[in-house]
Structure 1
């Protein structure tokens, strides 16, 4: 009888641990993976970007970091496939 009680208690504890894992821990880890993937995508986009902007005197600048108090345009370092024609630049 005692052995049966301990086996049932162990099965209940294992079921509770499995339920906790599937309802709490797995969604938390999935959220962490999604956040890390989003941060990596943002970092990769920034690594492939240059920033074109003009200062108060109208001088054109291109830099690796965006300016703090000026409007800027993000430019890709690697070109897109094909030919792009844009007469507004």
Structure 2
């Protein structure tokens, strides 16, 4: 009888391990991938500025896109090889 109980416990443990690796692990991996993708999108938005012109033609650069107006998305990080000089000639 004692051996039968140990066999049943081993079978139950094997079934639980099978369920974990076939059902729960892929679900957790998918959740981790979704979280990583959301973090990448948020990091990209944090590095983005929006360039647009108002009705008078004035140029604006903001950290939020304007509503109902065309805009251009630009990066806060300059590209390699571009030198930014704030002084006037």
Q: TM-score range by the shorter chain?
A: 0.7 to 0.9
Q: Which runs of no fewer than 5 residues in structure 1 stay unpaired? A: 85-89
Structure 1's consecutive aligned runs of 4 or more residues displaced over 2 angstroms after TM superposition are 55-59
SS of aligned partner of 2:82: coil
TM-score by length of 1: 0.84
The normalised TM-score by structure 2 is 0.84
Segments of 5+ residues of structure 2 without an aligned counterpart are 84-89
Aligned residues: 83
Determine if the alignment matches structure 1 residue 3 to structure 2 residue 2. yes
Kindly provide the CA deviation profile for residues 36-77 of structure 1, in whole angstroms up to 9, marking residues without a partner as x.
Answer: 100100010011110011233332211111122112111111
